[in-house]
């Protein structure tokens, strides 16, 4: 079943107007016509079955019929990732949506080559991936912030899984050790963290250092592997 | 340090001739000159430090100096993946190299849209990823084979982790349950396995069905997540 994210409130009988892009996708790409049904979600009201009532060139009208699923709250997982190359960052955002992260926060580190980060484009990618993966919300993608500022204002109630390439960190599953509660995963830039950054991170009480095996992983692989292991050890894959 | 895979035997004093592509990479892309050192591996003789002795337009000559690491045998993990879209298949092969799979085998299933699979191109991708991830071998990429034929000739000593979208399968880590020994991971096409394929797979004694969480994953995400969990539970990430 086709799934679309819409910002509107969803309730029995609610009428939803889709703009040009979603209309194009529905009518031209997916070849749906009046009378066909699809699923809608908005991150608040669960998943709704809706009927196509009318289609025009640039808009279409839907009507909510019945609730298919109640809203669910996914595990409280943030992904914090250095501003890596655009294509890898786009992959990471897509995978964060598939792997159930609630937020993706982009950070600038000492070794980040700050390409311009297009939050709007990344939000489109997160939305499309959320539609396809079946979740009932869209992960939020946040504007880049400097790592040090992020750590200065850290909420100590959220643990920070620091995927550390160098040294003596324990495997992720062992490091998590049945942990629960809010978590963030931190993935560094391709050049790794600087010695000062590593030292600061290793000294913070909420930081859990962990290793992702004996090989060097690209940033996108590291992000996917770390989210997978967190979901398996502490999230909704248990 | 730059790492290159070469087919030649490696030993102290051995002279290695690089062809046009590796010479271009070394001299023009990485801007290395005579006297610089790099690391070589061939999948058999460990990792060797080598010096650039001479460079010409289309060839370069290296000399092996000293062994940096002894050959290691990675865990015996195969990845078996349906012939999905080319860009996703290329990603999967890259990630299989990073995540320590020994072989990638492409299968044709009932719902596979058989695009032409370019094994040579996939082998180049596997080689480059192996060079960058630091491993001492290159995963073998094998010609497509029909799933049913593959199962007919299966070696019962190798378990087959079947990532099953539908039904009651257990989480991967629980399903593996401290298993050891050779394993293969099976990832289906975007449309999933057919009911007949699922039925056959679920009935085979060497098949371990397992689920990858509550969301629908693309084939590349499923492959990366499954390899990650296997390495964490039974491979070299422990």
pLDDT at residue A30 is higher than 90: yes
**Out of A172, A212, A221, closest to residue B95 by CB:** A221
Q: Chain-wide mean pLDDT for chain B?
A: 94
**By a Cβ cutoff of 8 Å, what residues of chain A touch chain B?**
91, 95, 98-100, 132-135, 171-173, 211-218, 221, 224-225, 228-229, 231-233, 236-238
Alpha-carbon span B162 to B153, nearest angstrom:
17
- Report the pLDDT value the prediction gives residue B190, as an integer from 0 to 100: 84
All residues of chain A having their beta carbon less than 8 Å from the beta carbon of residue B169 are none
Which of A196, A114, A203, A215 minimizes the C-alpha distance to A160? A203
ipTM for this prediction: 0.95
The domains located in chain A, with CATH, are 3-69 (2.40.240.20), 77-234 (3.40.1280.10)
**Among the partner residues B134, B171, B216, nearest to A237 by beta-carbon distance:** B171
> What does the pLDDT look like over B106-120, one tens digit per residue?
999 999 876 789 999
What is residue B113's predicted lDDT score, i.e. its pLDDT?
77
Using CA coordinates, name the residue in chain B closest to A213: B237
Residue A213 predicted with pLDDT over 90? yes
Cα A189 from chain centroid (whole Å): 18
Surface-to-core class of residue B192, CB atoms within 10 Å of its CB (0-12 exposed, 13-18 middle, 19+ buried): middle
Confidence of residue B182 (pLDDT cuts 50, 70, 90): very high
> Which stretches within chain B are classed as H helix?
20-23, 86-98, 119-133, 147-152, 172-176, 195-203, 219-234
| B contacts of A95 (beta carbons < 8 Å) | 221
Measured between beta carbons, the chain B residues lying within 8 angstroms of A218 are 98, 132
% residues pLDDT > 90 (chain B): 88
Range B210-229 average pLDDT: 96
What is the reported pLDDT for B152? 97
> What confidence category does residue B238 fall into, taking pLDDT thresholds of 50, 70 and 90?
confident
Cβ B213–A236 below 8 Å, yes or no? Answer: yes
Verify whether the Cβ–Cβ distance A228 to B231 is below 8 Å: no
H/E element, A122 = helix A119-133
| From B95, B133, B228, residue closest to A216, measured CB to CB | B133
First-residue to last-residue Cα distance in chain A: 26
Helix (H, G, I), strand (E, B) or coil at A2: coil
Q: Per-residue confidence at A115, pLDDT binned at 50, 70, 90? A: confident
Strands across the sheet containing B47-55: B3-5, B37-41, B47-55, B60-69, B15-18
CB within 8 Å: A171 and B229: no
> How much is the pLDDT for A113?
77
Q: Do A171 and B238 touch (CB under 8 A)?
A: yes
Burial classification of residue B12, based on how many CB atoms lie within 10 Å of its CB (0-12 exposed, 13-18 middle, 19 or more buried): exposed
Averaged confidence pLDDT in chain A: 94
Other C-beta atoms lying within 10 Å of the C-beta of residue A236: 14
B159 and B208 in contact (C-beta within 8 Å)? yes
Task: Say which of B213, B224, B231 has its CB closest to residue A213.
Answer: B231
Q: What per-residue confidence (pLDDT) applies to A177?
A: 83
Token pair for A161: 């899984």
Give the model confidence (pLDDT) of B48-85 as tens digits: 999 999 999 899 999 999 999 999 988 999 999 999 99
Mean pLDDT of B8-36: 96
Q: Alpha-carbon distance A174 to B228, whole Å?
A: 14
Q: What is the pLDDT of residue A116?
A: 85
- Cβ–Cβ of A217/B133 closer than 8 Å? yes
The share of chain A scoring above pLDDT 70, in percent, equals 99
Residue B151 has pLDDT above 90, yes or no: yes
Q: What is the pLDDT of residue A205?
A: 95
Assigned token pair, A147 = 């790592």
Model pLDDT, residue A179: 77
Q: What is the DSSP annotation of B208-234? A: EEEE--SS---HHHHHHHHHHHHHHHH
pLDDT at A74: 85
Dihedral sign of CA atoms A190, A194, A195, A197 in order: negative
Tokens standing for B194?
Answer: 């057919």
Task: Provide the pLDDT confidence category of residue A186 given band limits of 50, 70 and 90.
Answer: very high
- Output the pTM of the full model: 0.95
Residue A198 to residues A218, A219, B133, B199, Cα–Cα distance (Å)? 18, 17, 21, 50
Q: What is the pLDDT of residues A20-29, one digit of tens each?
A: 999 999 999 9
Residue B98: which of A173, A221, A237 has the nearest Cβ? Answer: A221
Say which residue, B175 or A177, is predicted with more confidence. B175
Provide, as residue numbers in chain A, all residues whose Cβ is less than 8 Å from the Cβ of B231: 213
The answer to whether A111 touches A193, Cβ cutoff 8 Å, is yes
Substitution target from B228, B231, B236 for chain A, most A beta carbons within 10 A: B228
Q: What pLDDT band is residue A73 in, cutting at 50, 70 and 90?
A: confident
pLDDT at residue B168, rounded to an integer: 81
Query: Could you count the other beta carbons within 10 Å of the beta carbon of residue B15?
Result: 12
The two tokens of residue B123 are 């082998």
Q: Which residues sit opposite A78 in a β-bridge?
A: A103, A184
Alpha helices in A141-204 (DSSP H): 147-152, 172-176, 195-203
User: Which of the residue ranges A40-49, A130-139, B187-196 would you say has the lowest mean pLDDT?
Assistant: B187-196
């Amino acid at each position: 079943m086709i799934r679309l994210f819409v910002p509107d409130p969803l309730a029995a009988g609610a009428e939803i107007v889709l703009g040009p892009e979603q209309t194009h996708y529905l009518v031209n790409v997916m070849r749906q016509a009046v009378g066909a049904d699809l699923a809608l979600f908005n991150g608040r009201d669960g998943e709704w079955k809706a009927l196509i009532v009318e289609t025009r060139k640039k808009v279409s009208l839907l009507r909510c019929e019945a609730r298919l699923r109640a809203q669910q709250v996914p595990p409280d997982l943030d992904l914090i990732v250095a501003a890596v190359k655009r294509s890898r960052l786009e992959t990471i955002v897509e995978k964060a949506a598939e792997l159930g992260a609630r937020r993706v926060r982009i950070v600038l580190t000492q070794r980040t080559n700050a390409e311009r980060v297009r939050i709007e484009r990344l939000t489109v990618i997160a939305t499309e991936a959320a539609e396809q993966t079946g979740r009932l919300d869209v992960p939020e993608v946040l504007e880049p912030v400097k790592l040090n500022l992020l750590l200065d204002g850290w909420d100590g109630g959220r643990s920070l899984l620091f995927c550390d390439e160098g040294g003596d960190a324990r495997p992720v599953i062992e490091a998590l050790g049945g942990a629960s509660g809010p978590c963030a995963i931190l993935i560094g830039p391709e050049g790794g963290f600087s010695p000062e950054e590593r030292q600061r991170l290793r000294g913070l009480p909420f930081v859990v250092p962990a290793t992702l095996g004996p090989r060097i992983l690209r940033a996108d692989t590291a992000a996917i592997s770390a989210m997978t292991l967190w979901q398996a050890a502490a999230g909704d894959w248990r």
